[in-house]
Chain A
Amino acid sequence: MRNFIQFLVKNSFVFLFLFLEVIAFALLIKNNNYQNSKFFNSSNYLVGNLYESVSNVTDYFNLKTTNSELAQHNAELLSANINSFTKIYGNTILINDTSYFQKYVYTSAKVINNSTNQRENYITLDKGAINGIKPGMAVVNSNGIVGIVKNVSPNFSSVISLLHQKMSISGKLKKSEYFGSVIWDSDENNHRTATLKEIPNHVEIQKGDTILTSGFSAIFPEGLPIGTVQYFDVPKGSNFYNIIIELTTDFKQLSHVYVVKSLQKEELDKLEGLIPKDVN
């Protein structure tokens, strides 16, 4: 026993080192499993506030691009306005007899921290639980999809970016309606491209084809742009295409985004019950 204690005392430095490494790896593995402790992520109060005040300054550098994006978006909304339509005089009149109800609610938010160079990228937004944001909501911007909300604190929320090695989103080819999953290739580490998988090789595709969200997961509204086909081939012995897509969202220029609340998600999730979600 005495020898054992002597051994411990003699090697206490090594044991302290091993102890601290075990803590570090425990944190690492816990973090990788997405049970990230609520205190230590970037929506934590102190760091969140610091990022917000830095973002208050750095936002000015992006004003020009943000303005033009907003102007473009405004133009699109104006063109969808009822005033920009006129009645059709003629023999055929379109009668719309379906009654609509609202399916998605959008909340605008500002990006106050963003990373693109890690294997697992996260985005911090300046809106949180007070503004009705909950984990699992989709985040989009005027160009395309951005990510899914992971954690919320009262005033901030952190979002798993599409640029995350474990993110997978259901997407479909606009032309043929075939669907597959869009996965970011973390080994390539390119913030402009992703891979579309599970498209069978008999489907006709061309360079430049558009990929939209499929709407299957009820997180993202159907028909939002994800990207365009940049390159495709069929690996030897495979029945599926290997498609590289160029993302429509430029993750290096994110500043204003919309958080999408799906009003039907709960109902749909309840119904689908045991089916595992395609996003973890």
Chain B
Amino acid sequence: MLIDIIKHSTRFLALLLLQGLVLNNIELSDYINPFLYVLFILSLPLYASKYLVLALSFVMGISIDIFSSTLGMHTAACVFMGFLRPYILKILEPRDGYENNFSVNIADMGMKWYAIYVVIMVFTHHLFLFYVESFSFSQFFSTFGRALVSTIFTLLLISITQLFYYKPSKKRR
């Protein structure tokens, strides 16, 4: 338990600094901006209560907002994502339920489960974020396109982080 708290706090800080200092400065063709920090909310433990997840999403969002002077934007998107998480976990729940000691990463949950989970969560977050940013539906398709392309880049970065967890030897056993 204590180890988990330390682990997730470290991940929080690392992702916050990475997003605020490095990734916010990355932009390909003025449209694409990856938001890797959502990985923190994605990989909160399965046993964490949904209230805690919602509160932590709020904290993560507002920290990112303070860094990028976009107060409220990321907070709204993160809270929405934290709200959806328990429902998506319920939909994706295996027949025998989740194993208690599993963490949310590609090695424990398996490639297929993790891919579906991450794609749904990241895409809803990005859609919400980009529509809040433009604050109108007037450029519906251009905003949708920006969300889509940024989602692809965020997913790319998340899959790179999952390479650290992926242990083929453990899988084959």
Contact = CB atoms under 8 A, between A and B. Distances in A.
B68 A115 contact: yes
Contacts of B159: none
Given A21-B80, A23-B58, 19 more contacts: A13-B50, A13-B51, A21-B76, A24-B72, A26-B72, A27-B75, A28-B76, A40-B66, A41-B69, A41-B71, A42-B69, A47-B67, A115-B68, A116-B27, A118-B68, A118-B133, A119-B134, A122-B69, A158-B69
Contacts of A187: 139, 142
Contact of B69 (A21, A26, A115, A191): A115
Interface in B24-47: 24, 27, 30-31, 33
A36 B21 contact: no
Nearest to B57: A20
Contact of B83 (A17, A25, A115, A122): A17
Interface string A190-201: 110000000000
Give chain B's interface secondary structure class: helix
Contacts of A189: 30-31
Nearest to B31: A189
B100 to A, nearest CB: 21
Interface residues of A, number: 35
B10 interface: no
Interface in B11-33: 21, 24, 27, 30-31, 33
Interface of A: 13, 16-17, 20-21, 23-32, 36-37, 40-42, 44, 47, 54, 115-120, 122, 158, 187, 189-191
A122 B50 CA distance: 35
Given A17-B79, A20-B54, A25-B76, A118 B30 contact: no
Nearest to A119: B133
Given A16-B51, A21-B79, A189-B30, A54 B70 contact: no
Contact of B71 (A13, A31, A118): A31
A20 B58 contact: yes
Given A21-B76, A191-B30, A16 B54 contact: yes
* The 9 nearest A-B residue pairs measured at CB: A28-B72, A27-B72, A24-B76, A24-B75, A31-B71, A17-B83, A117-B27, A20-B79, A42-B69
A191 B24 CA distance: 15
Given A21-B76, A27-B72, A119-B133, A190 B30 contact: yes
Contacts, number: 84
A28 B132 contact: yes
Interface in B69-113: 69-73, 75-76, 79-80, 82-83, 86
15 contacts: A13-B51, A13-B86, A17-B82, A20-B58, A21-B79, A24-B61, A27-B75, A28-B76, A28-B132, A30-B72, A37-B71, A117-B27, A118-B70, A118-B133, A189-B31
A160 to B, nearest CB: 10
A13 B82 CA distance: 11
A20 B67 CA distance: 19
A37 B71 CA distance: 10
A70 to B, nearest CB: 23
Contacts of A28: 71-73, 75-76, 132
Nearest to A113: B69
Contacts of B65: 27, 40
B79 A24 contact: yes
Nearest to A32: B135
Contacts of A24: 58, 61, 72, 75-76, 79
Interface in B100-142: 132-135, 139, 142
B27 A29 contact: no
A10 B118 CA distance: 29
Contacts of A36: 71
Contacts of B142: 187
A104 to B, nearest CB: 28
A40 B70 contact: no
Contacts of A16: 51, 54
Nearest to B75: A24
